[in-house]
Amino acid sequence: MAQYSEQLSGIFQALADPTRRAVLGRLGKGPASISDLAKPFDMTLPSFMKHIHCLEDSGLIQTRKEGRVRTCTIEKQRLAVAEEWLSAQRALWEGRTDRLEQFVTTARNKENSK
């Protein structure tokens, strides 16, 4: 559960940057290479790579190298961890079980115990 908290921190930290959110948006449409992903951004490759590493460390994407090309794919279950927490919060303060109950079940108490 301390682990769960660190996961959450990493995920939210990764989501806290517009470049990384845009990358996730792009990857939502399908896998892409590093250089394809980097194209829209006015940034050097090494700088961009830091964002990729951040996303990979958080578990939000996975990467795999074939030949000289590294392909990135989105890791759907990982964003669900963030959704779970938010849903748990909402359920908490609304004092009811809503349509997102499915997510809430286990997540609610984990985080509150820090």
Specify which residues 62 forms β-bridges with.
Answer: 73
Instruction: Provide the 8-state DSSP code for 26.
Output: H
The angle formed by the CA atoms of residues 95, 101 and 105, to the nearest 5 degrees, is 95
Q: Which residues contact 13 (CB under 8 A, 6 or more apart)?
A: 54, 58
Residues lying near its own copies in the complex (CB under 8 A) are found at 5, 8-10, 12-13, 15-18, 21-22, 24-29, 40, 74, 76, 79, 82-83, 85-87, 89-90, 92-93, 99, 111-112, 114
Q: Does 97 bind DNA (CB under 7 A)?
A: no
Q: Does 5 bind DNA (CB under 7 A)?
A: no
| Smallest separation, CB 45 to DNA (Å) | 4
- When CB distances are held under 5 to 8 angstroms depending on the partner's kind, the choice from DNA, its own copies, none that residue 68 binds is DNA
